Structure 1
């Protein structure tokens, strides 16, 4: 495989710059606290992908690189791309020998058919054009290879919905016809998106996770590290964000002062047909 230059003047690149900025504002807190809350989903996808020695894997929207680290431990040959230089700085420390590109999902700087597996952990839905982003994943995957798309599980079935909903009053008004955080969680939506990019849906599966924090301050830092939360803090201030999270977290406080919140991720496994 090879890495080429991404055209930074395209509309896709401009959307990547916006997402990269807000997701990079709390990169250290994300890497140290929140990223690990998603670890069970990373492991489940790598198991479905049968990632191992010789697997060429691209993590699209790789963030701080935890999923890639797990794949590398299994023997996979990993590469990554992300819009946030701050998150990539963490990933480079974790994986100093891996090819890691700063760029946009709609313009992957990799040659055709470079990978056996492409993963997108809560990534493709943040692209300005998710269909185009998946078309790029399709292009970069060999015939017979797999592309995985992860999003939130059904909101009515998970406790973490309360934490996601707490941000809505703090965010700027959404553009007309903008998708909400659970748009791809609805039955059939992931499959429709994949089909629009020429991918063949194979299986949808849910992964239950448990978010744990030892105290309120750690929970607020972890939950406040996402790009969406960073945008909420910019819009209404850090105090407002912390207060909203404190209220939403209150029902999940344990006797020892820690917090335990159930969250579900929904994953679509697709195949690139020959």
Structure 2
């Protein structure tokens, strides 16, 4: 099964897709079950995580679930597209969500306990650069 609205390998994500996503995410099998799996994985493998950064948060559907499941965790996000930042801030007005480029993360993210990026890397030709940046900002260990 493929994620809804998925593009082919390294095809750019269309900024016009955010309104479509907002309409279909809530209650959609793919998105709901993926969130359950992400929550399970965080609890099982990263129980001590105190900070979470989502890269490419889109409409903040995943981030909203992380915030709900882990209220003690300081969550924040970056999104490349202004349309996505707007949608995410509507969904989570009290969570820091900024415009940012995953290929060059701001140094302020250094020391983050946990970084997530869901359905994002396949849209970025420089995916290895993104992975290096994630490694750079993650807290050692």
Q: Same fold (TM over 0.5)?
A: yes
Asked if the contact 1:63/1:87 (under 8 Å) is kept, the reply is: yes
* Aligned equivalent of 1:113: 110
Greater RCO, 1 or 2 (C-alpha within 8 Å, sep 6+): 2
Give how far 1:73 is off. Answer: 0.6
Pick the structure with greater CA Rg.
Answer: 1
Q: Deviations over 1:70-92 (max 9, x none)?
A: 11112121111111211211110
Q: How does 1:233-248 map to 2 (within 5 A)?
A: none
User: How many residues matched?
Assistant: 125
Shift, 1:39, TM fit: 2.4
What TM-score comes out, normalization by structure 1 length? 0.41
2:135 aligned to which of 138, 144, 165: 138
**Distance in 2, Cα, partners of 1:71 & 1:53:** 14
Matched with 1:40 is: 33
Q: What's the C-alpha RMSD, in Å, of the aligned pairs?
A: 2.3
Aligned counterparts of 1:65 and 1:28: Cα–Cα separation in 2:
12
Deviations 1:103-135 (A, max 9, x none): 211011243533111111111222221111011
1:27 aligns with 2:18: yes
Structure 2 CA distance for aligned equivalents of residues 130 and 113 of structure 1: 19
Which whole-Å CA distance do the structure 2 matches of 1:61 and 1:112 have between them? 14
Corresponding position of 1:101? 98
Matches of 2:92 and 2:35 in 1, distance apart?
Answer: 17
> 1:126 aligned to 123, 128, 131, which one?
123
Structure 2 runs not aligned, ≥5 long: 1-10
1:70 maps to which of 62, 65, 68 = 65
> What is the CA–CA distance in structure 2 between the aligned matches of 1:63 and 1:29, rounded to whole Å?
11
2:117 alignment partner, SS class: strand
Could you report, residue by residue, the CA deviation over 1:27-67 in whole angstroms, capped at 9, with x for unpaired residues?
22211204743221122122212267962111111100011
Q: Which position in structure 1 is the counterpart of 2:55? A: 60
Deviation string 1:211-250 (CA, Å, 9 cap, x unpaired) is xxxxxxxxxxxxxxxxxxxxxxxxxxxxxxxxxxxxxxxx
Q: Is the 8 A contact 2:49 2:113 kept in 1?
A: no
Q: Indicate conservation of the 8 Å contact 1:124/1:130, yes or no.
A: yes
